[in-house]
């Protein structure tokens, strides 16, 4: 099914449902308080309760007088935070959640918790001079995709998040219910776009999962990747609204966040103007060496071909030591050939940007006719990029058994 006709009206933002406090920032909460005849500083108390103490019921906000809580409830206000409706646990520790949106329409989105990361983008802003960069041999051990294999090499830039157990933690967050971009290799694309998420529904996924794992912001280091269901830059205002909430109210660093786009040029150009204090790192979902192959597997490329994406990407002012990430899904016999690797290396070098590549061996999904690449092809591809001086990492497949791996999120309530 072609969902590309859905692309037209995607930038329209959806207002938070009336009466939902979660998703409203401290300043707007202060205005809400003034509107009900309370001092503005009550808004700060509310923000503290919603985003730091993570309360889910108005009545639990004990910093507010009981009479005020009752008044707010009587006027139709509620916390309205998304809640985890179902949990799927993988043998590798990954958890995939169906999270019920707060809009009251019964829709769910998917969020994935990866306790050891996936060796892909994790949002850490630290330096990355890897063994691979220096030309040392990569892992020779690609004969298995078992995610418990520990000797796949990690991107040192991304050995970063430490949860309660001292493990790396990466949380993959959705930005839309379904997706209209229709990448041919992606299971989410099969849903089409159902609707945009609000800023509260995007940030709410993070806070709901933090609650489940008792994450302490400031002590536990969690990386966020906006790489779940949907194309964040086709829901730009709500996506950036969520980022501002997560930075300002929840207390997370934008340097521990990465947003991935399929190459929505107007979105990248807007993103380039975001102030560094609220700008996550950027990953471009490249996936092909040239326009011909890219258009076949990502029809969006017809609208914004590779060179227009690269021109937009060059406008993003990278922080010191930050690299532009290119995500590359290896499809057996389609995008994983030696000539593809050589072309990708030339393409990336021509950008002149400090860049790195995350390779993802395609995860199989029902109804999608691509092949998983051979381990030898993956290794050869990686070596070509490394030899060209491009730091290149292989993302571990996480949670394949629960359809939590990249491109596998399909809001599978039916499972
Ligand atoms: S890969 Fe991303 S942008 Fe492409 S269809 Fe899937 S969710 Fe949408």
pLDDT tens-place string over residues 347-364:
999 999 999 999 999 988
Q: Are residues 251 and 208 both part of a single domain?
A: yes
Q: Is residue 410 part of a domain?
A: no
Confidence of residue 117 (pLDDT cuts 50, 70, 90): low
Query: How high is the pLDDT of residue 408?
Result: 60
CA of 78 to the centre of ligand 1 (A): 33
Q: What is the pLDDT of residue 104?
A: 79
In a domain, 15, yes or no: no
Task: Name which of 20-24, 41-45, 215-219, 341-345 the model is least confident about.
Answer: 215-219
Q: How confident is the model at residue 120 (pLDDT cuts 50, 70, 90)?
A: low
Lowest average pLDDT, out of 112-121, 208-217, 345-354, goes to: 112-121
On whether both 34 and 107 belong to a single domain, the answer is no
The two three-digit tokens of residue 68, written as one number: 């005020």
Q: What is the mean pLDDT of residues 158-172?
A: 59
Query: CB–CB of 52/251 below 8 Å?
Result: yes
Pairing type for strands 324-330 and 281-285 reads parallel
Give 331 Cα–ligand 1 centroid separation in angstroms.
Answer: 15
Residue 343 lies in a domain: yes
262 and 372 in one domain? yes
Identify the residue whose C-alpha is closest to ligand 1 atom 4: 183
- For residue 131, the model assigns a pLDDT of 30
Query: Do both 60 and 107 map to the same domain?
Result: no
Number of residues assigned to the chain:
415
- Is 67 in the same domain as 102? no
Task: Name 75's Cβ contacts closer than 8 Å, sequence gap at least 6.
Answer: 19, 36
What does the pLDDT read at residue 244?
Answer: 98
Residue in the block written with tokens 């989105």: 109
**What are the C-alpha distances in Å from 27 to residues 37, 249, 261?**
16, 10, 30
User: What's the chain's average pLDDT?
Assistant: 83
Task: DSSP letter for 164, please.
Answer: T
Ligand 1 atom nearest the C-alpha of 182 is 5
- Assigned domain for 414 exists: no
User: What's the total number of domains in the chain?
Assistant: 2
Q: Which of 268-272, 298-302, 368-372 has the lowest mean pLDDT?
A: 368-372
Residue 103 — very low, low, confident or very high, per pLDDT cuts 50/70/90?
confident
Query: Dihedral sign, CA of 217, 207, 278, 122?
Result: positive
Do 264 and 363 belong to one domain? Answer: yes
Give the pLDDT band (50/70/90) at residue 9: very low
DSSP letter string over 39-92? -THHHHHHHIIIIIS---SGGG-TTS-HHHHHHHHHTT-B----EEEEEEE-TT
- 38 pLDDT exceeds 50? yes
CA 83, chain centre distance (Å): 18
CA distance 146 to 224: 24
Candidates 172, 200, 239; CA nearest to 47 is 200
Instruction: Report the percent of the chain where pLDDT is more than 70.
Output: 78
DSSP state of 219: T
Q: What angle do CA 28, 230, 252 make, to 5 degrees?
A: 45
> Residue 243 has what pLDDT?
98
Spacing, Cα 181 to ligand 1 middle (Å): 6
The tokens describing 188, both together, are: 């989410």
Quote the pLDDT of residue 93: 86
Shared domain for 67 and 112, answered yes or no, is no
Centre of ligand 1 from the C-alpha of residue 231, in Å: 6
Tokens standing for residue 29:
């909460």
Task: Give the N- to C-terminal CA distance of the chain in Å, as an integer.
Answer: 22
Say how far residue 396 (Cα) sits from the centre of its chain.
16
**How far is the centre of ligand 1, averaged over its atoms, from the C-alpha of 235 (Å)?**
13
Cα Rg of the chain (Å, integer):
21
Residue 407 belongs to some domain of the structure: no
Pocket test for ligand 1, best of 112, 190, 231 (most atoms within 8 A of CB): 231
415 part of a folded domain: no
Provide the domain limits for residue 69.
Answer: 26-74
Same domain, 293 and 318: yes
Most informative mutation of 120, 172, 183, 403 for ligand 1 (most atoms within 8 A of CB):
183
What is the rounded CA–CA span in Å between residue 232 and residue 3? 17
Atom of ligand 1 nearest to the CA of 227: 2
**Position 118 pLDDT exceeds 80:** no
Nearest CA to ligand 1 atom 6: 186
Do 132 and 162 reside in the same domain of the chain? Answer: yes
Quote the pLDDT of residue 366. 83
Query: In this model, does residue 409 exceed pLDDT 90?
Result: no
- pLDDT at residue number 18: 61
Looking at the fold, whether 70 and 164 belong to one and the same domain comes out as: no
User: Please, is 239 exposed, middle or buried when counting C-beta atoms within 10 Å of its C-beta (0-12, 13-18, 19+)?
Assistant: buried
Report the C-alpha gap between 222 and 252 in whole angstroms.
9
* pLDDT tens digits for range 146-162: 222 222 333 434 434 44
Ligand 1 surroundings by CB, under 6 angstroms: 179, 181-183, 186, 188-189, 229-231, 262, 407
Please check whether residues 64 and 148 belong to one and the same domain: no
Q: How confident is the model at residue 8 (pLDDT cuts 50, 70, 90)?
A: very low
- For residue 56, the tally of other CB atoms under 10 A from its CB is 15
SS3 257: strand
Mean pLDDT of 246-250: 97
Atom of ligand 1 nearest to the CA of 189: 5
Is residue 157 domain-resident? yes
CATH number at residue 40: 1.10.150
Does residue 139 register a pLDDT over 50?
Answer: no
Highest mean pLDDT, choosing among 158-162, 170-174, 184-188: 170-174
Within a domain: 412: no
- Clarify whether residues 288 and 331 are in a common domain: yes
Q: Give the CATH number, domain containing residue 319.
A: 3.20.20.70
- Which of 74, 90, 111 marks a domain boundary? 74
| Ligand 1 centroid from CA 229, angstroms | 7
Rounded distance between C-alpha atoms, residue 390 and residue 383, angstroms? 10
Checking if the pLDDT of 320 tops 80, the result is yes
Distance of CA 172 to the CA centre of its chain: 5
Question: Which residues are CB-neighbours of 397 under 8 A, at least 6 positions away?
Answer: 118, 145, 147, 361, 363, 405, 406
Q: Which atom of ligand 1 is nearest to the CA of 179?
A: 8
Q: Helix, strand, or coil here: 102?
A: coil
**Residues forming the active site:** 110, 406
């Amino acid at each position: 099914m072609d969902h590309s006709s859905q692309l037209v009206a995607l930038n329209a933002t959806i207002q938070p449902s009336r009466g939902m406090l979660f998703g409203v920032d401290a300043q707007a909460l202060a205005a809400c308080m003034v509107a009900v005849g309370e001092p503005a500083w009550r808004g700060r108390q509310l923000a503290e309760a919603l985003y730091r103490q993570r309360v889910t019921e108005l009545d639990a906000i004990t910093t507010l007088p009981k009479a005020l809580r009752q008044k707010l409830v009587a006027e139709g206000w509620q916390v309205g935070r998304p809640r985890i409706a179902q949990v799927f646990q993988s043998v590798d520790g990954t958890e995939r959640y169906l999270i019920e949106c707060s809009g009251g329409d019964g829709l769910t989105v998917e969020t994935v918790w990866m306790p050891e990361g996936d060796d892909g983008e994790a949002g850490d802003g630290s330096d990355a001079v890897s063994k691979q960069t220096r030309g040392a041999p990569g892992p020779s051990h690609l004969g298995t995709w078992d995610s418990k294999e520990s000797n796949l090499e990690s991107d040192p830039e991304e050995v970063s998040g430490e949860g309660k157990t001292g493990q790396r933690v990466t949380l993959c967050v959705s930005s839309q219910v379904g997706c209209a971009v229709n990448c041919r290799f992606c299971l989410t694309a099969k849903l089409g776009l159902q609707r945009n998420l609000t800023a509260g529904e995007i940030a709410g996924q993070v806070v709901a999962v933090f609650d489940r794992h008792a994450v302490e912001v400031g002590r536990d280091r969690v990386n966020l990747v906006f790489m779940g269901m949907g194309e964040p830059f086709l829901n730009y205002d709500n996506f950036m609204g969520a980022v501002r909430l997560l930075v300002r109210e929840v207390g997370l660093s934008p340097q521990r966040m990465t947003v991935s786009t399929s190459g929505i040029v107007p979105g990248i150009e807007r993103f380039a103007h975001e102030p560094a204090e609220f700008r996550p790192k950027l990953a471009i979902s490249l996936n092909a060496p040239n326009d011909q192959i890219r258009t076949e597997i990502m029809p969006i490329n017809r609208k914004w071909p590779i060179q227009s994406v690269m021109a937009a990407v060059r406008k993003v002012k990278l922080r010191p030591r930050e690299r532009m990430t290119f995500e590359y899904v290896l499809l057996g016999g389609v995008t994983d050939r030696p000539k593809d690797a050589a072309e990708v290396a030339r393409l990336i070098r021509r950008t002149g940007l400090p860049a790195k590549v995350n390779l993802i061996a395609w995860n199989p999904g029902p109804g999608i006719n691509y092949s998983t690449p051979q381990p030898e092809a993956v290794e050869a591809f990686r070596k070509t990029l490394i030899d060209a001086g491009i730091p290149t990492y292989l993302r571990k497949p996480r949670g394949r058994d629960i359809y939590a791996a990249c491109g596998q999120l399909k809001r599978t309530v039916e499972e």
